[in-house]
């Protein structure tokens, strides 16, 4: 069951840190099944996105969860991602990365393009849950689509980590 694997990954804090986030979050602060998708306001955007993704994965693993509930969480996730990516791009961090390591410009541009693609994928998931067919097969399809989306987020954050390492690690010849 892929969703339960993702829940364990989120809950055990195995999500890689992001270029502009805090790193792994450890155990989620959102554990109540009746919790509203309103994560602590002081949570950094990266942490909030991760916590919402945990909640969505948990609900998708529960066949009794309603699509209205899942859709509400997907809406929160999409909004948080929009804010997070906008903040990352407005912060000047990408420009600083390019100024420190101009040869990594294609990697920085790829990360920015991934923001667009991830937001489109998030929007598609939101629309799917809003127009949901409450059959078990559709529930399974949404769960698989979300798992693919979560994997893309993890890959994106791993790419951000790699970029940081490439910028700030000393060259091999310096060791």
Q: What is the pLDDT of residues 10-54, one digit of tens each?
A: 433 333 333 333 332 222 323 333 444 433 333 344 788 889 999
- pLDDT band at residue 111 under the 50/70/90 scheme: very high
- The pTM assigned to this predicted structure is 0.71
- The answer to whether the Cα torsion of 51, 125, 106, 6 is positive or negative is positive
Task: Output the pLDDT for position 83.
Answer: 92
For the packed helices 136-168 and 45-61, what is the interaxial angle rounded to 10 degrees? Answer: 150
**Locus of tokens 């997070």:** 84
Q: Can you tell me the distance from the alpha carbon of 31 to that of 18, in angstroms, rounded to the nearest whole number?
A: 23
User: What's the token pair of residue 39?
Assistant: 């994560």
Q: What is the pLDDT of residues 120-170, one digit of tens each?
A: 999 999 999 998 777 888 888 899 999 999 999 989 989 988 988 888 876
């Amino acid at each position: 069951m892929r969703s339960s694997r993702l829940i364990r990954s989120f809950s055990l804090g195995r999500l890689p840190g992001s270029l502009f986030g805090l790193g792994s979050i450890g155990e989620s602060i959102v554990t109540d099944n009746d919790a509203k998708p309103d994560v602590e306001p002081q949570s950094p955007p990266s942490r909030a996105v991760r916590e919402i993704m945990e909640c969505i994965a948990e609900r998708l693993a529960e066949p009794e969860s309603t699509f209205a509930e899942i859709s509400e969480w997907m809406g929160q996730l999409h909004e948080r991602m929009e804010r997070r990516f906008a903040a990352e791009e407005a912060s000047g961090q990408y420009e600083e990365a390019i100024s420190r390591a101009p040869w990594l410009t294609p990697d920085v541009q790829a990360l920015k393009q991934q923001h667009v693609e991830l937001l489109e994928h998030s929007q598609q998931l939101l629309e799917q849950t809003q127009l949901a067919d409450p059959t078990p097969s559709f529930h399974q399809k949404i769960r698989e689509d979300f798992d693919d989306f979560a994997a893309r987020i993890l890959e994106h954050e791993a790419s951000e980590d790699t970029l940081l390492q490439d910028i700030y690690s000393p060259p091999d010849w310096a060791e």
